[in-house]
Amino acid sequence: MRLARPAALLILGSGLLLAACSGAGSAGSPATSAAPTTAASAAPATSSEPSASAGASASAGASGQASAASSGGAAAALSVTAKEYAFDVATSVPAGVTAITLNNAGKETHQAQLVKLNAGKTMADLQAALQNPDPSAGLKIVTLAGGPNALPPGSSGTTTANLEPGSYAFLCFVSSADGIPHVAKGMVAPLEVTGTAANTQLPSGDASLTLKDFSFDLNQLSAGKHTVTVKNDGPQSHEATIVKLNDGVTVDTLRTMFTSSQPSGSPAASGGAASPAASGSGGPASGPPWTEVGGITGIAPGTTATMDVDLPAGNYAFICFIPDATTGKPHAALGMIGALTVQ
Ligand SMILES: [Cu+2]
């Protein structure tokens, strides 16, 4: 398996081109609508309205993207389609506030963690770092920039952030049943953010969530559509994976899971524990006692973004899987699990 990983990364470049071409040519469903580079010929000219291409919402959100459209901002829209194991997305977008909609067209859970390369780092540096089984290696050379978190097949989710100019990449850290994170299977897509932001105003949210070391402060939400303003009060990067808890499962159940000794020797277990949002699929028998229903991937300390949610009533939890800067443990093991009751 180790030998296969460099090969997967080496063919990444051509794989992305193929993905972009097939996306643009097949279904008239362009990868993006915000002044894309690769999908320009297929993209509609009307690019300023969010959600035009984001109608594929299914189980978790009937039309979660609509709240981005109605929130008053002039956010540009960027559509990302995920499958095994690639993103179909534009390679360049203008700087500014951008609503990123992830459509999961695959058979596994996927996320779209946007990361900005730190000064002096290149995509080659990132791809090399991502070959390290420890995701901390890759995370050290980037700044987390949000994006929709883990979604089940057939569903979609939207988050909105202010993208500053620079070199970025979409990454999926969710692990397959074999324990290998999707980034190691080639699920990496570069994105250049260009120009000067025309719009830096985030949509106005109707709920707020603050991420801290190591807690979530939003406990209740009414059923249906919300735009949640998410602020990271740091000092570390954090995410908010939203999971629907299985019957009989509580946040205390999760706390016990994460704080008890992690099973060693199981690739799925170690991969899941170490990866941001790698809750993934460990197979029917060993899967986690929840279903991912979106949320927002990691954002840097001191930053704010929004996430659209459209949840039916039920018992949910926020989980942060980002590895701790000193111990390497997922923040969840340090207490970063929060109950969310939707009524
Ligand atoms: Cu965290």
**Of 235 and 267, more confident:** 235
- Domain containing 19 equals 14-41+51-342
pLDDT of residue 261: 57
Residue 209 lies in a domain: yes
pLDDT tens for 6-53 read 322 222 222 222 222 222 222 223 333 333 343 333 333 333 333 333
Residue 4 lies in a domain: no
Cβ–Cβ < 8 Å for 140, 120: no
Residue 57 lies in a domain: yes
d(CA 290, ligand 1 centre) in Å: 19
Whether 131 shows a pLDDT value over 80: the answer reads yes
d(CA 311, ligand 1 centre) in Å: 22
Residue 160 lies in a domain: yes
Residue 8 lies in a domain: no
- φ/ψ of 309, rounded to 5, equals -125, 155
Query: What distance in Å separates the CA atoms of residue 117 and residue 125, rounded to the nearest whole number?
Result: 9
d(CA 29, ligand 1 centre) in Å: 35
d(CA 215, ligand 1 centre) in Å: 8
Query: Is 1 exposed, middle or buried (CB count within 10 Å of its CB: 0-12, 13-18, 19+)?
Result: exposed
d(CA 274, ligand 1 centre) in Å: 12
Mean pLDDT score, 319-340 = 95
pLDDT tens for 97-128 read 999 999 999 999 999 999 999 999 999 999 99
Residue 337 lies in a domain: yes
Query: What distance in Å separates the CA atoms of residue 218 and residue 222, rounded to the nearest whole number?
Result: 12
> Which one, of 190, 206, 150, lies nearest residue 173 by Cα?
150
Q: How does residue 212 score in pLDDT terms, banded at 50, 70 and 90?
A: very high
d(CA 148, ligand 1 centre) in Å: 16
The total number of structural domains in the chain stands at: 1
d(CA 226, ligand 1 centre) in Å: 22
Residue 9 lies in a domain: no
d(CA 321, ligand 1 centre) in Å: 6
Mean pLDDT score, 267-272 = 35
Task: Name the H helices within 159-281.
Answer: 251-259, 267-274
Give the DSSP per-residue string, 118-145.
PTT--HHHHHHHHTSSSTHHHHTTEEEB
pLDDT tens for 52-70 read 333 333 333 333 333 333 3
Residue 5 lies in a domain: no
Query: What distance in Å separates the CA atoms of residue 152 and residue 158, rounded to the nearest whole number?
Result: 14
Query: What distance in Å separates the CA atoms of residue 229 and residue 207, rounded to the nearest whole number?
Result: 6
Helix and strand numbers, DSSP H then E, in the chain? 7, 18
Strand partners, 92: 192
> Which one, of 293, 318, 306, lies nearest residue 61 by Cα?
293
